[in-house]
């Protein structure tokens, strides 16, 4: 793939060695947010190509059904969000908890204040995890 931002459905079909009708079907079934120009022609971005390649691999090479591939993609997205949240928790733990461990002369007031910050951070992460898919 060259440095283009958008690819026509014909170009994508050629790259993936499949039909344009197959790409239209997959785009609809997997709810890909494919841009359209004023004429209504589909314009695919690199992210769309990567998703379509993954879909093609699951359906053609691994033998997934359409529903099975949808579930796998949804599961993969959930795992991705959980990993992001876990990374944020680690960052927050290092930012907030480390001063607690290193400062032995902290007062109870300071400890309570830091624990409240930790709680608030966890509450905000909890909201992020409960995103609907």
For the chain, the domains span 7-64, 76-129
DSSP letter, residue 44: E
Class of the CATH-defined domain 7-64: mainly alpha
Residue with more model confidence, 10 or 132: 10
Q: Please give the model's pTM, rounded to 2 decimal places.
A: 0.58
DSSP letter, residue 42: E
Task: Tell me what the mean pLDDT of segment 92-109 comes to.
Answer: 57
Helix (H, G, I), strand (E, B), or coil: what is residue 107?
coil
- Tell me the pLDDT tens digit for each residue of 16-62: 999 999 999 999 999 888 999 999 899 999 989 988 998 898 889 88
Q: How many CA atoms lie within 13 A of 102 on its CB side?
A: 6
What pLDDT was estimated at residue 91?
61
> pLDDT class for 133, splitting at 50, 70, 90?
very low
């Amino acid at each position: 793939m060259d440095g283009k931002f958008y690819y026509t459905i014909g170009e994508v079909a050629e790259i993936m060695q499949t039909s344009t009708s197959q790409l239209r079907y997959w785009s609809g079934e997997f709810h890909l947010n494919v841009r359209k120009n004023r004429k209504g022609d589909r314009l695919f971005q690199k992210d769309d190509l990567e998703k379509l390649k993954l879909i093609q691999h699951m359906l053609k090479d691994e033998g997934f059904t359409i529903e099975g591939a949808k579930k796998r993609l949804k599961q993969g997205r959930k795992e991705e969000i959980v990993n992001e949240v876990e990374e944020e928790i680690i960052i927050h733990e290092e930012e907030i908890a480390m001063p607690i461990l290193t400062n032995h002369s902290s007062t109870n007031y300071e400890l309570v204040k830091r624990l409240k910050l930790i709680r608030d951070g966890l509450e905000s992460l909890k909201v992020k995890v409960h995103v609907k898919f």
